[in-house]
Amino acid sequence: MDSVWNFIVSVLELGNFAIIKVLIILSIILVMVAYLVYFERKISAWAQNRLGPNRVGWKGVLQPFADLLKLLLKEDIVPDKSDKKIHAIAPMIALFVALSTYAVIPFGPSLQLFDYNISLVVADVNIGILFVLALTSIGVYAITLAGWSSGSKYSLLGGIRSSAQMISYEVSMGFSVGGVLLLAESLRPVAIVQAQSGWMWNAILQPIGFITFVVSAFAETNRLPFDLPEAEPELVGGFHTEYSSMKFAGFFLAEYANMIIASAIIVTLYLGGWQIPYIEKLGLSAVVVTILQVGAFLLKLFALLFFFIWVRWSLPRFRYDQLMNLGWKVMFPLSLINIIWVAALIMIFNL
């Protein structure tokens, strides 16, 4: 009995309780996605002088579960002309990318609990940011393959637009991250957060980089004003025109999970991660500080998610040439200027 117990504990201890953290984060993300959809509908309704879903449960709080049940019970239609295997794999790639990126995002400092030193990040790897950039690039494959394998011209156009858009915006995204890396002198997300102690948030030190990164993040997550791959009026839903039932739900889930990831990365890179400025001067106990800091991280995350939804219901969609103009002629030079600005900061103030 004792040996079994020891074995279980040793498995759980693997990689600093990685299994437990993965399970917790996965369930939190799935619940957050469900409620993100709910709040998307609510906020869109409020912005348009409506009430929004309010029939299922108190004020409609059970609406996401009703939606999910509906999607699960729908018939799964696969078009005759589609490439069946790739058609099935595409939503899985989207989900895989959306859920695995979260592994490197730190949501709190390390926690002292029962003689264990638990760091509140699944994988504290020293190439964290590179990992994120690599995975988000794989995310493009999900959309492009979905569009290509559907055997429909609308889907194909959506998929191609998506890949073109991602390539243009990934460049400025990478260069804006460059500014952050110069200041933090590390690719480790935890180190980047620690480098932003006090009010040394990257959003304040390099506002241009912050703006270019946020705009690129909008483009990467295919949210309005850059949701050209789906563009309902012209492409009838774009890459997911030919998807139904659970495969469609996969894309749906991935889109919202991507929004959470993008917000979490923005918080980590530019808004000081879990840090609350000057909290150490209040003289609170370590556990309380940790809880407050995790709370601060979530608060920043929710504020950004609200911003994502708010922008979607305020701005019109860009035309395709405007999108490319903005990407290559505005965002790209701006992110280069940002790198020079950061280099100058480092030279002058020896940061």
Partner 1 sequence: MQEKPVKRRNKDLSFWEKLYIPEIVKGLSLTLRTMFKPKFTMEYPEVKFEPTGSYRGRPVLVQEENGVERCVACGLCSRVCPALAIEVQAAETELEKERYPEKFEINMIRCIFCGFCEEVCPEEAIVMSKDYELAFSNREEAIFGKNKLLMPVNQLQDRIDFLRQYK
CA separation for the pair 340, 343 (Å, rounded): 5
Site for partner 1 in 204-223 (CB under 8 A): 211
Minimum distance of partner 1 from residue 224's CB (angstroms)? 12
**Among 3-11, 44-52, 128-136, 240-248, the segment contacting partner 1 (CB under 8 A):** 44-52
Smaller CB separation from partner 1, 187 or 217: 217
List, in order, residues 6 or more apart from 58 with CB less than 8 Å away.
none
Cβ 47 to partner 1 shortest distance, Å: 4
User: Per-residue contact track with partner 1, 294 to 313, x per CB under 8 A?
Assistant: ----------------xx-x
Structure tokens at 226: 């850059």
**Token digits of residue 289:** 């500080």
CB of 56 to partner 1, least distance (A): 14
Tokens of 302: 């929710």
Q: Out of 3, 48, 117, 285, name the contact with partner 1 by CB under 8 A.
A: 48
> What are residue 118's DSSP bridge partners?
111
Query: Are the C-beta atoms of 69 and 57 separated by less than 8 Å?
Result: no
329 forms part of the interface with partner 1 (CB under 8 A):
no
Closer residue to partner 1, CB minimum distance, 17 or 313: 313
Q: Would you say 112 or 322 has its CB closer to partner 1?
A: 322
In this structure, the chain runs to a length of 351
Contact 123, 103 (CB under 8 A): yes
Instruction: Please answer whether residues 194 and 277 qualify as being in contact, where contact means their C-beta atoms are separated by less than 8 angstroms.
Output: no
Residue with smaller CB distance to partner 1, 54 or 186: 54
Told to check if 314 binds partner 1 by CB under 8 A, we report: yes
Which of 16, 54, 186, 325 is the binder for partner 1 (CB under 8 A)?
54
Dihedral class, residue 52 (left if φ above 0, else alpha if ψ from -120 to 50, else beta) = left
Cβ closer to partner 1: 248 or 318? Answer: 318
Helices 2-47 and 286-312 cross at an angle (nearest 10°) of 40
Binding region for partner 1 (CB under 8 A): 43, 46-51, 54, 211, 310-311, 313-315
